[in-house]
Amino acid sequence: MQRSWQTQPIKPKEWRRVAGFTLFVLLMTTAPYIFAWTRQTDDLAFSGALIGAEDANSYLSKMRLGARGEWAFRLFYTPEETEGAFGFFLPYIATGQVIGAVVTDDAQLPAALMIGFQAMRIVCVAIFMVALYRFIALFVTAQRTRYHALVIAVFGGGLAWVLFFLAPHIDAPDLYIPEGYSFLIVYSLPHLALARAAMLLGFAALITGTSTRSGIIAGLWWWIVGLCVPFYFAVIYVVLGAWGLAVWIGTRRFPRELAIRGVIAGVITLPLFAYSAYVFATNAAFAQWSAQNTLISPNVLAYVLGYLPLAGLAAFGIGAAWRRARISARYWLLMAWVVIVPVLVYLPINVQRRLAEGVIVPLAILGAMGARRLFVRGYSTQARRWMGRFAIGTICLTSAMIIATGFLAGLARNQPVYVPTSELRALAWLQANAEPDDLVLAAWSTGNRIPVYTDLRPFVGLGPETLFAQSKDEQVRRFYSEDLSLEALTSILVQPCLDRFRWSPGIITLSPNELSRLPLRLDNLRYTPTPSAECAVDYLYFGAAEREIAGGEMPSWAEGGNLVYDADGVMIYAVQQ
């Protein structure tokens, strides 16, 4: 007779239930976007994003890069002409290639990119759901418990809904760290959904296989992960190593077969990992982009509040997993993953939060096992069901809050969720009259949207992908507020690029607070650049954001300037070199 802890195949009835749940998730996460789209007016257009609009614009811009026929990713949110590299953000660029082949009208392209983004999200989420349930079924036999684990893994969060009312000054990780949860990914980040699906399928291949073939299959799945997010290789290697070490310590025997399969999978991924490392080591622009991509973990209290409800349930599932680990090494993966992540997210690197990737999955499995253990014994069937529903519902309240804020954003119609149509008409004029890759000086918020609606490049507009973004943003503010000397103003317009994207000789000043926090990010320094590259500004944009910086006044440089566009409060000047 088969023991209850042993793996049992997924029945067709279960897959039908998973399909129904997937449809429910897709409808729930798509409805706010449709609602926001219907709320457009003659003066305001929906940007396509309900949360993280700045990052969403960057993904749409990458899709536009593909629509232009380009396969290599390059930094286009910066005035410097940068060398591109193939294989980065490939899901977006490939989707853009398809859209570009179908949509040839520039006026229709932005809307097509937004629709394509949602289509990509739907496909990637459906793949993720299948991979997630497949992974869950390797550890859980009872169908109801499998389904509970699926619900928790997708909707599970922390106490953000409580902090919103009682302690809004605390940054709730379940509202802004997609790597540590799933709902933000399902809602708005399709490439991360695809990456997580491939990661789980790779681990599933190692669990179910007993030959070197399973290591090859895992490595191939993990190639997809690397093409979505190269850095996730580091997470895979660490989790894989922690799993093997846990098995070794727990069984007091070296896991030879698992080690062989894991090494084969790792070796298969090494070429792509080495290629990514080589690009970032040899491409000065990419190296600076990586250095600026700061994703620091919040304090321990924030993480505790972010995982407290789920960790409470998971604590009751650890015992069951521990007992089963004596028979099957797969259960050591769940425990090793959960134990190693709190260490990883505080390693002294600039992308700490990313190391939490996927931890919600083993936590959800342990949580579902814990819920089953808690609510099976000592209660009537009806009481058990209601208590289980209450516990799981509490864990999922943050996701419900995120959905609600999506509808509220549609009702409010505020920026950046909505974009003034006057700005879109100005950008459409630039697209029709400027040359591709012409440089536009504008405020940060305007610059963030420029690559979505045009083939031009902004002076500043995206933190990691604008080289030395903080200093450039300060330059832009001083430019529009006329807090620059004539020499400095001319330098920005004529030669705003930095030689080899490194710090040039100049004045560097640190505040006492900055001195006390050495070592510093380069972007925290104030600098006076020495221009040496030819990349002059082609257009000056002056709209609502720029007027706000200028204090509502027209800058003196506008007098006698070459005004080429003036409509609905937006003015564009061509810069004559």
Whose tokens are 């910066």? That residue is 78
Q: Please report, rounded to a whole number, the percentage of residues in the chain having pLDDT higher than 70.
A: 91
- Classify residue 126: in a domain, yes or no: yes
Q: Can you give the pLDDT at residue 431?
A: 97
Convert the pLDDT of each residue in 2-11 to its tens digit.
343 456 789 9
Residue 297 inside a domain? The answer is: yes
**Which DSSP category does 350 fall into?**
T
User: 418: part of which helix (H) or strand (E)?
Assistant: strand 418-420
The verdict on 455 and 343 lying in the same domain is: no
Verify cis geometry, omega within 30 degrees of 0, for the bond prior to 12.
no
Same domain (yes/no): 439, 525: yes
Q: Are residues 316 and 259 in the same domain?
A: yes
pLDDT given for residue 228 in this prediction: 97
Residue 320 belongs to some domain of the structure:
yes
Which amino acid is located at 242 in the chain?
A
pLDDT at 523: 40
CA dist 486 and 23 (Å) reads: 60
Contact 112, 102 (CB under 8 A): yes
pLDDT(529) > 70: no
Question: pLDDT tens for residues 24-48?
Answer: 999 999 999 999 999 999 999 999 9
Q: Is residue 569 part of a domain?
A: yes
Phi, psi of 233 (to 5 degrees): -55, -40
Task: Output 501 or 545, whichever has higher pLDDT.
Answer: 545
Based on the fold, state whether residues 143 and 206 are members of the same structural domain: yes
CA torsion angle 494 500 506 508 (round to 10)? 120
Domain membership flag for residue 55? no
Residue 393 is predicted with a pLDDT of: 87
pLDDT of 506 higher than 60:
no
Phi, psi values for residue 439, rounded to 5°: -100, 130
- Count of structural domains, the chain: 2
**pLDDT given for residue 380 in this prediction:** 62
Q: How big is the CA angle at 341 (ends 338 and 344), to the nearest 5 degrees? A: 165
At residue 4, the pLDDT reads 38
| Cα Rg of the chain, angstroms | 26
Q: What is the residue range of 19's domain?
A: 12-38+105-408
Between CA 198 and CA 200 the distance in angstroms is: 5
Say if CB 77 and CB 437 are below 8 A apart. no
The size of the chain, in residues, is 577
How high is the pLDDT of residue 492?
A: 81
Q: Is 136 helix (H, G, I), strand (E, B) or coil?
A: helix
pLDDT of res. 500:
45
Answer whether residue 379 shows pLDDT above 80.
no
Q: Among residues 437, 476, 441, which one has the least CA distance to residue 76?
A: 437
pLDDT tens for residues 285-321? 999 999 999 999 999 999 999 999 999 999 999 988 9
With 60 as the cut, is the pLDDT of residue 547 above it? yes
| Same domain, residue pair 394 and 345 | yes
Pairing state between β 439-441 and 539-542:
parallel
- Residue at 382 is within a domain: yes
CA 229 – CA 236 distance, rounded (Å): 12
3-state secondary structure of 569: coil
Q: Is 173 found in the same domain as 33?
A: yes
Average pLDDT on 127-143 reads 96
Q: Is the pLDDT of residue 481 over 50?
A: yes
Task: Determine the angle formed by the axes of helices 212-228 and 190-208, rounding to 10 degrees.
Answer: 170
The per-residue pLDDT for 509 is 38
pLDDT at 526: 38
pLDDT band at 496 (very low <50, low <70, confident <90, very high): confident
pLDDT greater than 90 at residue 327: no
Query: Are 317 and 353 members of one domain?
Result: yes
pLDDT for residue 565: 97
Q: Using one digit for the tens of pLDDT, what is the confidence trace for 436-480?
A: 999 999 999 999 999 999 999 999 999 899 999 998 999 999 999
235-238 long-range contacts (CB < 8 A, ≥24 apart) are 235/199, 235/344, 235/354, 235/355, 235/357, 235/358, 236/199, 236/202, 236/269, 237/266, 238/340, 238/344, 238/355
Among 383, 408, 433, the domain boundary falls at 408
353-375 as b/e: b if 16+ CB within 10 A:
bbbbbbbbbbbbbbbbbbbbebb
Residue 212 buriedness (CB in 10 A; 0-12 / 13-18 / 19+)? middle
Same domain, 501 and 567: yes
Residue 563 in this model has a pLDDT that exceeds 90: yes
CB atoms within 10 A of CB 43: 11
Last residue of a domain, one of 371, 388, 408: 408
Q: Are residues 126 and 248 in the same domain?
A: yes
Domain boundary among 374, 408, 442: 408
* For residue 388, pLDDT beyond 70: yes
pLDDT(245) > 90: yes
Taking Cα atoms as reference points, which of 469, 454, 398, 369 lies closest to residue 64? 454
CB 275, CB 446: distance < 8 Å:
no
What is the per-residue pLDDT for 521? 37
Classify residue 62: in a domain, yes or no: no
- Tell whether 79 is covered by a domain: no
My answer on whether 360 and 424 are in the same domain is no
- Is the domain of 359 the same as that of 433? no
Give the integer Cα–Cα distance in Å for 452 and 63: 9
Q: Tell me, what's the pLDDT at 6?
A: 52
pLDDT in tens, 147-176: 999 999 999 999 998 888 888 888 899 999
Q: Give Cβ neighbours of residue 213 (< 8 Å, ≥ 6 apart).
A: none
pLDDT category, 67, cuts 50, 70, 90? very high
Structure tokens at 510: 């640190």
pLDDT digits (tens, 9 = 90+) for 249-284: 999 999 999 999 999 999 999 999 999 999 999 998
Contact, 188 vs 49, CB < 8 A?
Answer: yes
* pLDDT exceeds 50 at position 507: no
- 243-247, 300-304, 362-366, 486-490: the lowest-pLDDT one: 486-490
User: What mean pLDDT is predicted for residues 179-189?
Assistant: 97
pLDDT value, residue 577: 64
d(CA 266, CA 407): 44
The verdict on 424 and 401 lying in the same domain is no
* Sequence-distant (≥ 6) Cβ neighbours of residue 373 within 8 angstroms: 316, 317, 319, 320
